Amino acid sequence: MDRKVVELWQAGDWKTFCEMLPLYNEKCWGEGGMHDTAMLLGALGWDRYEGKAEVTTPYFGSSGTGQINAIFPVTPLPA
């Protein structure tokens, strides 16, 4: 499931991811209740975020959870 989520992020399918986030957390035991992901997406505009995640390291296991390092690009707002 984690790998599917990363695919959604890379495709920029934030609508699908945001809709499934509560169930993903519940069924897949998201680390820390997925609060870090929810806060990041909240700052980026939630399901209106238009960027695509750029994965900089492949998926790896760490302390019982899957991890990646990713960049979430932002476009400056017009002045």
Residue 10 in any domain: the answer is yes
Q: What is the pLDDT of residue 62?
A: 72
Q: What is the pLDDT of residue 61?
A: 77
> Which residues of the chain fall below pLDDT 50?
none
- Residue owning tokens 């519940």: 26
Residue 77 in any domain: the answer is no
First-to-last CA distance in the chain? 40
Write out the residue range of the structural domain in which residue 64 sits.
2-71
Structure tokens belonging to residue 7: 């695919």
Q: What is the pLDDT of residue 15?
A: 97
Structure tokens belonging to residue 43: 């700052």
* Total number of domains constituting the chain: 1
Q: What is the pLDDT of residue 33?
A: 83
Q: What is the pLDDT of residue 59?
A: 85
Residue 46 in any domain: the answer is yes
Residue 50 in any domain: the answer is yes
